[in-house]
Structure 1
Amino acid sequence: MKLAWLRSQDGAHDDSLWTTTWVPASDDSPALLLTGSLDETVKLWNPEDLSLVRTNSGHCLGVISVAAHPSGKIAASASIDSFIRVFDVQSNNTIATLEASPSQVWQLQFNPQGTVLAVAGGGSASVKLWNTAEWKLVGTLSIPRPEGVKHSEKSGTKKFVLSVAWSPDGRQLACGSMDGTISVFDVVRTKFLHHLEGHSMPVRSLVFSPVDPRVLISASDDGHVNMYDVEGKTLFVSMSGHSSWVLSVDVSPDGAAIATGSSDKTVRLWDPKMRAAVQSMTNHTDQVWGVMFRPPGGTGVRTVQLASVSDDKSISLYEYS
């Protein structure tokens, strides 16, 4: 397995890029790359040449998370301004504006069926669930405190929710917190299942394996990339190699490789069977906040691609093979 650099877009935004995702191909459009920046804008890019398709404005503070609906027709962006903007990918028109206050949103993600948007509620120590039919709040998953711990401002801060990930069947949701714990919920029953432990610092990013729904992969400020058996509640692989915080993680469509972005300015490719990094890409000059594999599908796509975004205001695109 390896990554080969394809192209980069320097100065893609006027400020740091903190988030990226792929908009799946639809009947109306090929797959597009979506980026969000502290310059308060969201941009859509053609991956073939990283040309700008359109710019989406509407937030009054930096954009820290973006998510694309499985249909490829709508997307959502979350900002430090505590608002979520849902918009039509083709027309740019706003479909809904969701208020997340009093707590800012740190990450959001549509479930695989496209019926629910999960929103990590930051300091509220909860994940809010919004239905996508009427954009109404339909559930709140609160992170329980460990037994014997009294409520305090300090413990509340540590439960600050940073990351969310849906299981492939959409029945479970995992969220990572500031204190290094990962909470797993049964969404159908709106029930907390258990904590997963193993990190000593904030869990910035989570992703389930597309080929084994029991496997959850996490990235943390402690420099480790962990793999858990969600059903068995066990940590079975812990990998290290970055020299600083691991800010983002994704897994390849075939489930065979893991990609990470880090404060050490590198993108790394990991072989989970070898339990080690097999490649390090160094084309960014600042922290790498987002990595994301292109989902399979779309006409004329013969290779798997990986995108990365950074504080250096650039996008990089790689071929994975």
Structure 2
Amino acid sequence: MGKLEVHKAGTLSGHQNPIFAIENGVMAHIVFTGGNDKGVVQWNLETLTFERILYPVQFSVYALHRISQTPLLAIGTRDGKVAVVHTDTQTLAAKLTHHQRPVFDIKSFRTKPEVVLASEDGTVSIWDTATFSLLYHFKVAEQTVRTIAISPDERWIVFGTKEGKIKLYNASDYSFGGELPGHTMPVTSLSFSPDGRYLLTGGRDAQLNILDAQSFSSVSTFTPHLFTVYAIKYHPTLPIFATGSRDKSIKIWSAEDFRLLRVVSFERGFDSHLLSVNSLVWNPYKQQLISVSDDKQAMVWDVMLI
């Protein structure tokens, strides 16, 4: 692997409160952000500018997810509702009103028309994306289900809970597949590697666990950050992944041997976040990494192997 270079491309400013979620649009240069504001914001990465308020909200936004192969953005809020908004027309396509507590994560499948919601009420709900009718709902934990990951082959779906547990389910019928090695504190991030070899899990205990994604046995555990690991995101093509943390830093790692390649933080000389990094996304427009934070900023990073 060559040398990794990271440069700041710009800052997306405009939020008046902490930003908790970010998602890519249908068009490569578009991203959406949401947080403790009154609206989901659309940004243009060509010009690094605000475009519009996509959709107004009454409650904090904790999750944004573009439903696979559609222009529909699912917006999970503190009141437990999920608004499904058409990103071209800004019209409300559906309102999913099952949960009574905050929705913290949303995922969908490529191979079947279903979207999955995870809530603070300890349950998960499955919705048909053609009719937006409720298909299934089941209890996963006594407390919050914080994060979801779907394996690249869409055989497995994994949930991380406030109790530090990681629950494995069969994605075909949502039958319980077992409990995986977990954390001593709440699980806050999950990610399968794109090649399907590994499942990475991060927690409030500041640990990152590497599991074999075939046997789901533990491969390694290490401490990547000083505090909670809020995000784990693999680059779509390069053999690297990024983590974001409550310790205000972003770290870039080798996906091949899990070596630390670069630390992006104010303390390391970057014009970077001053508060918790809450979420990350790799954007396809220029293969840039975008981070969002409690400091009300979204920052755009050029990450290159040279």
Q: TM-score normalised to the size of structure 1?
A: 0.86
2:156 alignment counterpart: 172
CA 1:63–1:187: 2 relative to 1, 3 Å: same
Q: Is the 8 A contact 1:15 1:313 kept in 2?
A: yes
2:120 is paired with a residue whose SS is: coil
CA 1:118–1:164: 2 relative to 1, 3 Å: same
What is the distance in 2 between the residues matched to 1:69 and 1:3?
A: 32
What is the distance in 1 between the residues matched to 2:225 and 2:212?
A: 23
1:21 alignment counterpart: 23
Letter in 2 for 1:161: V
1:44 alignment counterpart: 42
What is the distance in 2 between the residues matched to 1:210 and 1:55?
A: 32
CA 1:178–1:3: 2 relative to 1, 3 Å: farther
Cα distance, 1:104 vs. partner? 1.8
Letter in 1 for 2:7: W
* Gap runs ≥5 in structure 2: 266-271
Matches within 5 A, 1:1-321: 2-9=4-11, 11-25=13-27, 30-113=28-111, 115-123=113-121, 125-143=122-140, 156-157=142-143, 160-212=144-196, 214-254=197-237, 256-282=239-265, 283-295=272-284, 301=285, 303-321=286-304
Q: Is the 8 A contact 1:241 1:276 kept in 2?
A: no
Q: Is the 8 A contact 2:72 2:85 kept in 1?
A: yes
Q: Is the 8 A contact 1:106 1:122 kept in 2?
A: yes
Q: What value does the CA root-mean-square deviation take over the aligned residues?
A: 1.9
- Percent identical among aligned pairs is 24
- 1:22-59 CA-partner distances (Å, limit 9, x unpaired): 1243xxxx441111111131111112232122213332
Letter in 2 for 1:238: T
2:50 is paired with a residue whose SS is: strand
What is the distance in 1 between the residues matched to 2:30 and 2:242?
A: 20
Letter in 2 for 1:117: V
What is the distance in 1 between the residues matched to 2:72 and 2:5?
A: 29
1:57 is paired with a residue whose SS is: strand
Which region of structure 1 is more displaced relative to structure 2, 160-169 or 2-11?
A: 2-11
Cα distance, 1:100 vs. partner? 3.3
Q: TM-score normalised to the size of structure 2?
A: 0.90
What is the distance in 2 between the residues matched to 1:49 and 1:202?
A: 38
1:117 is paired with a residue whose SS is: strand
Letter in 1 for 2:128: N
Cα distance, 1:243 vs. partner? 1.1
1:264 is paired with a residue whose SS is: coil
2:13 is paired with a residue whose SS is: coil
Q: Is the 8 A contact 1:82 1:101 kept in 2?
A: yes
1:18 is paired with a residue whose SS is: strand
What is the distance in 2 between the residues matched to 1:112 and 1:12?
A: 33
Q: Is the 8 A contact 1:11 1:313 kept in 2?
A: yes
Q: Is the 8 A contact 2:81 2:100 kept in 1?
A: no
Letter in 2 for 1:35: T
Q: Is the 8 A contact 1:116 1:130 kept in 2?
A: yes
Which region of structure 1 is more displaced relative to structure 2, 223-232 or 132-141?
A: 223-232
What is the distance in 1 between the residues matched to 2:192 and 2:162?
A: 19
Q: Which of structure 1's runs of 4+ aligned residues deviate more than 4 A?
A: none
Cα distance, 1:225 vs. partner? 1.8
Cα distance, 1:121 vs. partner? 2.0
What is the distance in 1 between the residues matched to 2:157 and 2:100?
A: 23
Between the two proteins, the alignment pairs up a number of residues equal to: 296
Which region of structure 1 is more displaced relative to structure 2, 113-122 or 14-23?
A: 113-122
Cα distance, 1:95 vs. partner? 0.5
What is the distance in 1 between the residues matched to 2:203 and 2:5?
A: 22
Letter in 2 for 1:127: V
What is the distance in 1 between the residues matched to 2:5 and 2:69?
A: 28
1:248 is paired with a residue whose SS is: strand
CA 1:109–1:259: 2 relative to 1, 3 Å: same
Which region of structure 1 is more displaced relative to structure 2, 190-199 or 50-59?
A: 50-59
Letter in 2 for 1:312: D
Letter in 2 for 1:139: Y
